[in-house]
Amino acid sequence: MLMEPYRIKVVEPITLTDRPEREKFMAAAGYNPFNLRAEQVMIDLLTDSGTGALSAEQVAAGTRGDETYAGSPSFYRFRAEIEDLTSYPHIFPVHQGRAAERILFAATLKPGQMSLSNTHFDTTRANVELLGCEARDIPCEEARDIRSAHPFKGNIDLAALELFLRWGNVGQVIMTVTNNGGGGQPVSIENIRRAAEICRTHGVLFFLDAARFAENAWLVSQNEREFAGHSPRSVAREMFALADGCVASLKKDGIVHMGGVIALRDAGLAARCEQALIAGEGFSTYGGLSGRDLDMLAQGLREGTDAAYLRGRAAATAHLAGLLTDAGVPVVRPPGVHAVYIDAGAVLPHLPPELFPAHSFATELYLEGGVRAVEIGSLMCGTVDEHGVLVKPAPRELVRLALPRRVYTQSHLEYVAETAASVMKHVSELPGYRLVESPEVLRHFKCRLEPV
Ligand code: F0G
């Protein structure tokens, strides 16, 4: 039975809108959901990042936050928590994940080198490319089949990893847990272990992009025989122990509105990162965060790794995936924890990738029911020429329904599934979209489109 393992103490009203209003809002937003205002959205599944609900204990911890510039006790409480999880000796707070990526990659990559990953997330890729390097994704074979129920479709392709490390100019390997760009699929400890061994043999640094480390640990404890019955926290420790360090957006599994971390084993690398941190983010004991944030994070990391919480969250995601499947909406299987991914390409065969089918489905979810989702298809991941024309489509046309932590109830999720079911009734009539404005990097955030 699904029962959220918390109750609600503070609430926020949802502004109810109707379809004609939403049509006006979407047209004014240039058909880009990132341009909508919060009040124009009824259920916001754009992201699970920074959108979680704080617990009473986190608010209390925030009140204890100490705003001393250097040496705040809030930092030491934060560091103790990260140290307990990772065992890494060098720990720096940063304002969010992408700051950690920018600082670490500038210290590990030289122009012309390659960064390898199961899948780089969009900002991770951008931070690699902005250094004049190539971000190469090598997901495992099973990841290609979105219907397969293989439990670890987030794994990296170990044979490809070995080949690239033998013949290519590789500056780092970064494993994203769970694999957000690849359908929110988890990575097994066995895969992390073997990838780490291969990297060690070739003398290449191996990091985790640990934004959803707790959800990965939960899925390992459920599906990897060696870890059956282990607590998510002990699995997380095992995972971190295999890597040379990590970068993480803590706005996900840390259940805070803002925060991130760089944690490393090597003192020399840490010293290089620390210089860039102080120059660009803030002194080493706050890194762009307030003491309040650091204390809420220390508490959030304890709650985010709690088995009852993770079990409830995974059950909610599976429930939504089940309702969608029952309504004839195909979803990536198996559902992960932070999101359900709709296979929009499969239900919109009349729209070629150049007309951004997944974007069309996401837009219609909003028009139909005020549900905001994000496209993870050719608009986000394809290659577009200088005229805004798609020249290389993404491997899949997906719509991600990301679930903020502790925010929406079962009835909200049922409303989302009903909205998707209504979209399915007229899915063959959905329009395609054409880019009218398109920035060169991270196009999906700022582009404008029009229906065709
Ligand atoms: N790595 C992964 C796997 C992510 O999912 C994200 C952010 C980042 C790095 C960057 O972290 O936002 O704190 O700078 N993902 C969000 C999302 C934005 O919606 O999936 P950040």
What's the pLDDT tens digit per position in 80-137? Answer: 999 999 999 999 999 999 999 999 999 999 999 999 999 999 889 999 999 999 999 9
CATH number for the domain including 119? Answer: 3.40.640.10
Say if 6 falls within a structural domain.
no
Same domain, residue pair 34 and 108: no
Task: Give ∠ CA 171-145-182 in degrees, rounded to 5.
Answer: 40
| Residues 201, 215 share a domain | yes
Q: What is the mean pLDDT of the chain?
A: 96
Residue 121 Cβ contacting ligand 1 at under 6 Å: yes
pLDDT digits (tens, 9 = 90+) for 182-205: 789 999 999 999 999 999 999 999
Residue 11 falls inside a structural domain: no
Task: List phi, psi (to 5°) of 253.
Answer: -75, -10
How many domains is the chain partitioned into structurally?
2
Mean pLDDT along residues 2-19: 94
Task: Among 267, 286, 304, identify where a domain stops.
Answer: 304
Domain shared by 76 and 188, yes or no: yes
Q: Is 69 a catalytic residue?
A: yes
Q: State residue 3's pLDDT score.
A: 87
- Say whether both 206 and 221 belong to one domain: yes
In DSSP terms, which residues pair with 402 in a beta bridge? Answer: 339
pLDDT of residue 227: 98
pLDDT by residue (tens digit) across 24-36? 999 999 999 999 9
Q: What does each C-alpha distance from 24 to 30, 388, 423 come to in angstroms?
A: 10, 24, 19
The model's confidence at residue 1, banded by pLDDT at 50, 70 and 90, is low
**What's the confidence (pLDDT) of residue 272?**
98
Catalytic residue among 122, 157, 293, 343: 122
Residue 156 Cβ inside 6 Å of ligand 1? The answer reads no
Residue of 120, 122, 180, 444 with the most ligand 1 atoms within 8 Å of its CB, for mutation? 180
pLDDT of the residue at 315? 96
Rounded mean pLDDT of 208-221? Answer: 98
Q: What is the pTM of this model?
A: 0.96
**Residue 327 clears pLDDT 90, i.e. is over it:** yes
pLDDT score, position 439: 84
Strand segments, DSSP code E, in 295-431 are 339-343, 371-372, 374-376, 383-384, 390-392, 398-402
> 369 and 272: one domain?
no
| Mean pLDDT, range 394-416, rounded to an integer | 96
Q: Per the domain annotation, does 447 fall within a domain?
A: yes
- Domain that includes residue 444, residue range: 19-48+306-451
127: CA distance to ligand 1 center in Å? 12
Instruction: Specify the ligand 1 atom closest to the Cα of 178.
Output: 3
Residue 249 forms part of a structural domain: yes
24 and 117 inside one domain = no
304, 335, 356 — which closes off a domain? Answer: 304
- CA–centroid distance, residue 387 to ligand 1 (Å): 28
pLDDT of residue 57: 98
Q: Does the annotation mark 121 as catalytic?
A: yes
Q: Are residues 184 and 104 in the same domain?
A: yes
Question: Which of 288, 304, 320 is the C-terminal boundary of a domain?
Answer: 304
Structure tokens at 252: 């996900």
Distance 197 CA to ligand 1 centre (A): 27
Give domain status of residue 3, yes or no: no
- Over the range 59-79, which residues count as b (16 or more CB within 10 Å of their CB) and which as e? eebbeebbeeeeebebbebbb
Indicate whether this complex's ipTM tops 0.85: yes
Helix (H, G, I), strand (E, B) or coil at 447: coil
Average the pLDDT over each of 67-71, 94-98, 178-182 and give the range with the smallest value.
178-182
Q: What is the pLDDT of residues 378-390, one digit of tens each?
A: 999 898 888 878 8
